Chain A
């Protein structure tokens, strides 16, 4: 058969596929899923079994939040830093010590692939540095796991789209870790806007001050600490020699691993802006901004910026590195400001914040907490408050801002095709290099 004879080959596929069914009947393909009570089996504990991948600062927070829910059971933790995974195991084992006599403790892993290979784990929480988010999320979806992935959902727009596609393909549940939208106040503010309480929305001001805005000098090459698997930490990111401030926490100010403040807290605040604008499954039409990227030193993400976005609905969004941190929605009849973090609301009048949203009006649905919402939807196979498309679009806002600042000109964006329509070079900037063998 000629390799280029596609039609013949494709029909042939089905013929042989019929044959392989019989041959495959004896394959050990079926992963027991009794922990979920699937297919009529009653779950031994009716809990969602979990593992955390990435257990540093944010990972510890997420792990504790998920651990504390009554319907989860942790089985494993994974981190390329031994001290992180050991600390995580220690607090999980301590937590479960008095709750489950038969539990012998969580298992520890250095390589996330070993976690994904376990049949008895239903869901994973991913809180690695950003450059790993998409690779692990896609792999997790392919392995049949449900996913709680920290924000930003991915480190580039094509990677984010790959996550959305993988989750959809395998019918998985994914919650992006943009937990600010699960706050009652943030939801209420968005409902007020959507239901016309501030009149026609025309302007959104996003305040994203940079707390750690000082650049740092070039850093010396350092020996890799014994407890860190540095090659695995780098993963898909370009190889660079180890230095302390490249890794934990500080990675967010280096563009190979993250997008600076813009993708860090920006992924929260722009997410709320997208929600309030009712555009959280699409994106802007134009992006125009400027920023200051340090000319030298280790950190190379924007340390101050001002970016304008224009949407098809006529709304203009201005994102600036100023305080107080939060987002202000301005309409013809009033305004609302959501403080991030904390969710405290301010408005053009006290009466506005006493408004009741009637049953016939648009409701966004209350969240019992971002982590609880995830587990609830793992069980009901519903859509989380920050599903993949929403998480991807919010992260896209951050990436678009960074590209527009780099490119230094007004860019026109097609949210459908996720391509710039007026700039080839900007389209090339959408992609990131991946070290072999990692790719999404």
Chain B
């Protein structure tokens, strides 16, 4: 089978009565007796054969033979469904015979439709004879509205077909009929839609008539949007003043969607409407059609109004496309120091007014703080990396103390736009060499963490040697915000040197943050956690520390957590950390995991702790039928190469298994992933391979069956001998590979390399026929 292959183990467990898939021959023998709620594997076999067939005629005959026999209704429906995919003229008679059975007729009709026999046999239900429909329409009792409307609907389908084939005369008759004033609005709207399709060149006149004497204003609104031409814009704009207030807001929205600035004047007058809804609609509309002249009004309302009016003014201020808008904003920004002036400058940023950058830079020298702040906000968007020196220099100017944080934020954002990360901190580093005040240098050091790279870290390390505590603290805090673990050795040095309590606290806090952020969570991190354990002073740092240790899947984590269990303030966090470690070890060491969590089921522990402890027990129970005792090494990859290309490459677990960094593989965290080892969750990333290893100890020479599923490819070794090699992408399916294992008395090493070709990355394994065999990690 191609894509429905061997039976999923999960299903096997859920459905113990299922033995194996029948052959196609056997399936055809039994399918006629199928009734709902019985085993449907015969249907599955036939369905896959039909769905993927290259010889439909042969299968069609076999299906028809089922129908000719004494098949149940459930079987007939299934057969019809199959014939709807592959049926030919040969099926017509059989299908026609089924049309009288109401519970099967729908299927039979589908078969007939698919073999293009529907129109002949199903006349009346799928009308395609327009002439007959016309005759029927005239015979209808006009009082029976439903039938009249249904007939008109069918006639509109005829009209659309006629129009497509060039018969506009017939279509016009239908649409004119629908458009009559005594029909309901939606029938008339359909008539209008048809009339415009019929004569698109005359759309404006048609719409004008429908809006005025036709009484179809709302049905016309889509055409107010879409009817092309300046003439249409003028006509619709002129009509605005005549639209009743209750429809005016909708009309303005439609008029604005034309995006024709010539309508702006008419729309702007409506901003003075007494009807709030109309006024707001006009304000929103100005964003689509307005120009520089509308900017003062919008700015005023943005600053001095509230609620929906303010939001409309704000949105339109940012949306006006008129080229003069930015110049008007700059002029207003330059003309005073009140809130409106600042809002004008800020809007230049919100509008991404790149061409106004130089003028906004000049505003940084304004005396008013609000204007400076607004200019910085705008520059954050419109300034380029070329402007960094100018902005950085301001950090050293005492006059800008009040804008220091805003300046730092703007500089960081602009620097992050430099394409090469290794150059993003250059301007700051250059300035650092000449920094002549603590505040200036501290600002620069803080900035280095927003553009983290190796050059910046060098500067931070240098700053740790400064005699100025302000500078040292700034460097420590900047290191604490670093996106990777590189600063940890420097922070360890700070802790060991212990120049001041504040610095030690900051360094320890920073180390916890950095260590907790490292992925993957390998056991070698434990040494770093151990190094700082004795320096923790604040409860916050201790809790973060425990949170981090709780993610390390090694028995040593229990020892590191243990002292915190006896501290009242950290007891709950330590208990939670213990249960998390136990969960990670629950596959490889279920007995130890149970032992570790059992004390935390007691009522004396908070609910989250008890829940987590129970989760450990549930996970062990859930995964009981699967092979969960695995060590993991990896990921391994070759930079820039897809995993398929290095499928046969021998990485350390093959070349030097004793020294490979094996660690315990945790079970998947989601409860629905029964038996799954989720490498994407534990490691992540793309185009790589990981190795999983377990030891199978046999009491004597014996055999066992290894059931394996991997996403994507895999290679399997038993005692160094390759058993299986699959080098292509596939989904995770339990038991997809069935591998006999020949085990020696004593320890046998079973190893699986699982490759990742994009997307999910996981393994699911089971050992069967395994009497006298135990699986465990080394």
Interface residues of A (CB under 8 A from B): 1, 3-6, 9-14, 16-17, 20-21, 23-25, 27-31, 33, 36-40, 42-43, 46, 141-144, 168-172, 205, 207, 211-221, 236, 238-241, 243, 290-297, 303-306, 318, 320-323, 349-351, 354, 356-361, 363, 366, 379-382, 405-409, 425, 427-429, 431-436, 439
> Which of B78-86, B198-206, B361-369, B516-524 is near enough to bind chain A?
B78-86
B52 contacts A407, C-beta separation under 8 Å = yes
A-B contact count (CB 8 A): 301
Per the CB 8 Å criterion, the residue count for chain B at the interface is: 120
Tell me, rounded to whole Å, the shortest Cβ–Cβ distance linking A231 to chain B.
Answer: 11
Question: How far does the alpha carbon of A212 sit from the alpha carbon of B36 in the complex, in Å?
Answer: 23
Tell me, rounded to whole Å, the shortest Cβ–Cβ distance linking B103 to chain A.
Answer: 4
Question: How far does the alpha carbon of A358 sit from the alpha carbon of B382 in the complex, in Å?
Answer: 11
Tell me, rounded to whole Å, the shortest Cβ–Cβ distance linking A37 to chain B.
Answer: 4
Label chain A's interface by main secondary structure: loop
Tell me, rounded to whole Å, the shortest Cβ–Cβ distance linking A310 to chain B.
Answer: 16
Residue of A nearest to B174 (CB): A13
**Assuming A297-B11, A382-B221, A433-B110, is B182 touching A239 (CB within 8 A)?**
no
**Assuming A144-B185, A290-B731, A351-B413, is B221 touching A380 (CB within 8 A)?**
yes
Tell me, rounded to whole Å, the shortest Cβ–Cβ distance linking B330 to chain A.
Answer: 15
Contacts of B176 in A (CB 8 A): 14, 17
Contacts of B185 in A (CB 8 A): 30-31, 33, 38-39, 144
Tell me, rounded to whole Å, the shortest Cβ–Cβ distance linking A422 to chain B.
Answer: 13
B250 contacts A379, C-beta separation under 8 Å = yes
Residue of B nearest to A350 (CB): B416
8 Å CB contact of B106 from A1, A27, A238, A425: A238
11 A–B contacts from the bound complex (CB under 8 Å): A9-B134, A10-B162, A10-B167, A14-B176, A31-B184, A241-B36, A382-B221, A382-B253, A428-B85, A434-B106, A439-B126
Which residues in window 212-267 of B have CB below 8 A to A? 215-219, 221-222, 225, 244, 246-247, 249-250, 253-254, 257
> Which of B135-143, B535-543, B555-563, B699-707 is near enough to bind chain A?
B135-143
Question: How far does the alpha carbon of A432 sit from the alpha carbon of B246 in the complex, in Å?
Answer: 45
Tell whether B186 is near chain A: CB-to-CB under 8 Å.
yes
Question: How far does the alpha carbon of A13 sit from the alpha carbon of B130 in the complex, in Å?
Answer: 10
B246 contacts A46, C-beta separation under 8 Å = yes
B416 contacts A218, C-beta separation under 8 Å = no
8 Å CB contact of A13 from B10, B173, B354: B173
**Assuming A27-B142, A169-B190, A433-B110, is B170 touching A10 (CB within 8 A)?**
yes
**Assuming A304-B733, A306-B759, is B180 touching A24 (CB within 8 A)?**
yes
Tell whether B114 is near chain A: CB-to-CB under 8 Å.
yes
Residue of A nearest to B155 (CB): A13
8 Å CB contact of A144 from B36, B170, B186: B186
Residue of A nearest to B245 (CB): A42
Give me the 10 closest cross-chain CB pairs, A-B, nearest first. Answer: A144-B186, A358-B352, A322-B760, A14-B173, A171-B189, A381-B221, A351-B416, A10-B170, A9-B131, A380-B250
Which residues in window 89-134 of B have CB below 8 A to A? 102-103, 105-107, 109-110, 113-114, 125-126, 129-132, 134
Residue of A nearest to B325 (CB): A359
A292 contacts B186, C-beta separation under 8 Å = no
Residue of B nearest to A379 (CB): B250
Contacts of A221 in B (CB 8 A): 36-37
**Besides A38-B218, A171-B190, 4 new A-B residue pairs in contact (Cβ under 8 A), listed by A number:** A292-B3, A292-B731, A306-B731, A366-B315
Residue of A nearest to B186 (CB): A144
Contacts of B8 in A (CB 8 A): 215, 292, 294, 303
Interface residues of B (CB under 8 A from A): 2-4, 7-8, 10-11, 14-15, 18, 21, 36-41, 44, 51-53, 56, 74, 77, 80-81, 84-87, 102-103, 105-107, 109-110, 113-114, 125-126, 129-132, 134-135, 137-138, 142-143, 145, 148-150, 153, 156, 160, 162, 167, 169-170, 172-174, 176-177, 180, 182-187, 189-190, 192-193, 215-219, 221-222, 225, 244, 246-247, 249-250, 253-254, 257, 315, 318-321, 325, 349-354, 380-381, 413, 416-417, 672, 680, 729, 731-733, 758-760
8 Å CB contact of B3 from A20, A290, A303, A356: A290
Contacts of A21 in B (CB 8 A): 177, 180
Tell me, rounded to whole Å, the shortest Cβ–Cβ distance linking B778 to chain A.
Answer: 31
**Assuming A24-B180, A29-B183, is B44 touching A405 (CB within 8 A)?**
no
Label chain B's interface by main secondary structure: helix
B169 contacts A14, C-beta separation under 8 Å = yes
Question: How far does the alpha carbon of A172 sit from the alpha carbon of B351 in the complex, in Å?
Answer: 35
Tell me, rounded to whole Å, the shortest Cβ–Cβ distance linking B617 to chain A.
Answer: 21
Question: How far does the alpha carbon of A38 sit from the alpha carbon of B173 in the complex, in Å?
Answer: 26
Question: How far does the alpha carbon of A221 sit from the alpha carbon of B219 in the complex, in Å?
Answer: 50
Question: How far does the alpha carbon of A215 sit from the alpha carbon of B15 in the complex, in Å?
Answer: 9
Tell me, rounded to whole Å, the shortest Cβ–Cβ distance linking B675 to chain A.
Answer: 12
A10 contacts B130, C-beta separation under 8 Å = yes
Most buried by A among B190, B217, B413: B190
B132 contacts A296, C-beta separation under 8 Å = no
Tell me, rounded to whole Å, the shortest Cβ–Cβ distance linking A63 to chain B.
Answer: 24
Tell me, rounded to whole Å, the shortest Cβ–Cβ distance linking A42 to chain B.
Answer: 5
8 Å CB contact of A12 from B132, B134, B760: B134
B156 contacts A169, C-beta separation under 8 Å = yes
A3 contacts B221, C-beta separation under 8 Å = no
Residue of B nearest to A142 (CB): B153
A407 contacts B51, C-beta separation under 8 Å = yes
B110 contacts A381, C-beta separation under 8 Å = no
Tell me, rounded to whole Å, the shortest Cβ–Cβ distance linking B5 to chain A.
Answer: 8
Contacts of A366 in B (CB 8 A): 315
**Assuming A4-B131, A380-B250, is B760 touching A428 (CB within 8 A)?**
no
8 Å CB contact of A10 from B36, B109, B173: B173
A435 contacts B106, C-beta separation under 8 Å = yes
Contacts of A240 in B (CB 8 A): 36, 74
Question: How far does the alpha carbon of A408 sit from the alpha carbon of B47 in the complex, in Å?
Answer: 12
Contacts of B134 in A (CB 8 A): 9-10, 12-13
Question: How far does the alpha carbon of A381 sit from the alpha carbon of B254 in the complex, in Å?
Answer: 8
Contacts of B733 in A (CB 8 A): 292, 304
Contacts of B318 in A (CB 8 A): 359
B39 contacts A296, C-beta separation under 8 Å = yes
Question: How far does the alpha carbon of A359 sit from the alpha carbon of B215 in the complex, in Å?
Answer: 37
Question: How far does the alpha carbon of A405 sit from the alpha carbon of B51 in the complex, in Å?
Answer: 10
Residue of B nearest to A15 (CB): B173
A320 contacts B759, C-beta separation under 8 Å = yes
B672 contacts A214, C-beta separation under 8 Å = yes
**Assuming A142-B149, A306-B731, is B102 touching A38 (CB within 8 A)?**
no
Contacts of B215 in A (CB 8 A): 39-40
B38 contacts A381, C-beta separation under 8 Å = no
8 Å CB contact of A214 from B14, B174, B184: B14
Contacts of A382 in B (CB 8 A): 221-222, 225, 253-254, 257
B114 contacts A428, C-beta separation under 8 Å = yes
8 Å CB contact of A429 from B3, B85, B113, B216: B85
Most buried by B among A207, A359, A408: A359
Contacts of A42 in B (CB 8 A): 244, 246
Question: How far does the alpha carbon of A358 sit from the alpha carbon of B130 in the complex, in Å?
Answer: 53
A296 contacts B41, C-beta separation under 8 Å = yes
**Assuming A27-B145, A170-B189, is B106 touching A433 (CB within 8 A)?**
yes
Question: How far does the alpha carbon of A178 sit from the alpha carbon of B511 in the complex, in Å?
Answer: 44
Contacts of A23 in B (CB 8 A): 142
Question: How far does the alpha carbon of A418 sit from the alpha carbon of B187 in the complex, in Å?
Answer: 28
Residue of A nearest to B320 (CB): A359
Contacts of A20 in B (CB 8 A): 138, 142, 177
A428 contacts B189, C-beta separation under 8 Å = no
B217 contacts A425, C-beta separation under 8 Å = no
Contacts of A356 in B (CB 8 A): 349-352, 381
Question: How far does the alpha carbon of A11 sit from the alpha carbon of B174 in the complex, in Å?
Answer: 11
Question: How far does the alpha carbon of A363 sit from the alpha carbon of B247 in the complex, in Å?
Answer: 26
Question: How far does the alpha carbon of A29 sit from the alpha carbon of B146 in the complex, in Å?
Answer: 10
A29 contacts B182, C-beta separation under 8 Å = yes
Most buried by A among B137, B138, B150: B138
